[in-house]
């Protein structure tokens, strides 16, 4: 039987967000001394990436300008892909996995470098709390995540970053991203995986970063691309580098099927 699909990208006041009863499985870390996770020292290499991206996104925006086509979501999607994939590429080129001094792109044996999976259909679990009188257990749903940073064989478990795309510039606290993080944190905890995980909700201009630690404490960081471009890139670079270390711990992508094939097999199992 196919799982019922829901969208967690529809804004804070949507029914699916309310359905997930946020806060039952994660705790706000404000005032608990965990906010220093967002403190990062500047890096000259990342500043160079920022300057490169600024010119690249400007050129793409110019190419997308049209009197007969709406920029809207089309422009958001293009900007997001440029930013996410260029930053990943720059981190890849800075990694020397074998200690040989040979950049990653010239070392075809490297299989421990993370990759973006886009999009990905994630099974999420609604957890009932004390306020849900008469209800027990959980209910499974399926939601589409725009980007998952994958570092190993099990996509739902071997990730430390998920990204949800905001379709508009309307105010949004990004709670849909936190709902996804809560689901992944719960899965990882059941599988005995303890570690930090990040989430991003963005329309490529406004960026909301979430961090969930191994104990289920979360914090948020609000950034604007026009004002905080370098800081956004620094956070992305750090998260990708952390994923690289995690990939080496779990064995990378040895004997891993492509995502499309994996999800097809899962669908066959449910029929």
Q: At what angle do helices 225-250 and 72-94 cross, to 10 degrees?
A: 50
Tens of pLDDT along 157-207? 999 999 998 876 665 677 788 888 888 888 898 899 989 999 999 988 899
Q: What is the value of pTM for the model shown?
A: 0.79
What is the Cα 49 distance to its own chain's centre? 20
Tens of pLDDT along 38-77? 887 766 556 567 777 777 777 776 776 665 555 566 677 8
Q: What is the mean pLDDT of residues 6-26?
A: 54
Confidence of residue 28 (pLDDT cuts 50, 70, 90): low
Give me the pLDDT at residue 238, please: 92
Q: Which has more confidence, 126 or 129?
A: 126
According to DSSP, residue 105 is labeled G
Backbone angles phi, psi at 81, to 5 degrees: -65, -40
Residue among 120, 116, 153, 113 at smallest CA distance from 242: 113
Highest mean pLDDT among 39-43, 101-105, 149-153, 172-176: 149-153
């Amino acid at each position: 039987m196919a799982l019922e699909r829901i969208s967690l990208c529809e804004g804070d006041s949507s029914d699916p967000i309310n359905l997930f009863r946020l806060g039952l499985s994660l705790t706000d870390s404000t005032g608990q001394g965990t906010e220093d996770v967002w403190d990062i020292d500047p890096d000259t290499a990342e500043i160079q990436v920022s300057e490169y991206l600024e010119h690249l996104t400007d050129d793409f925006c110019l190419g997308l300008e049209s009197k007969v086509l709406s920029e809207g979501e089309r422009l958001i999607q293009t900007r997001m892909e440029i930013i996410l994939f260029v930053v990943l590429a720059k981190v890849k080129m800075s990694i020397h996995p074998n200690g040989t001094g040979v950049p990653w792109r010239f070392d075809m044996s490297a299989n421990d470098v993370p990759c973006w999976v886009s999009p990905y259909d994630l099974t999420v679990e609604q957890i009932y709390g004390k306020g849900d009188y008469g209800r027990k257990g959980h209910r499974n749903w399926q939601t589409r995540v725009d980007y998952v940073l994958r570092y190993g064989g099990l996509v739902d478990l071997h990730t430390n970053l998920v990204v949800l795309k905001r379709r508009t510039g309307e105010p949004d606290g990004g709670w849909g991203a936190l709902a996804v993080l809560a689901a992944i944190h719960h899965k990882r905890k059941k599988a005995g995986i303890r570690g930090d995980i990040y989430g991003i909700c963005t329309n490529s201009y406004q960026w909301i970063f979430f961090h969930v630690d191994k104990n289920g404490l979360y914090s948020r960081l609000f950034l604007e691309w026009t004002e905080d471009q370098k800081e956004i890139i620094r956070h992305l670079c750090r998260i990708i580098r952390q994923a690289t270390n995690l990939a080496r711990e779990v064995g990378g992508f040895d004997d891993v099927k492509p995502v499309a094939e994996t999800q097809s097999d899962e669908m066959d199992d449910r029929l």
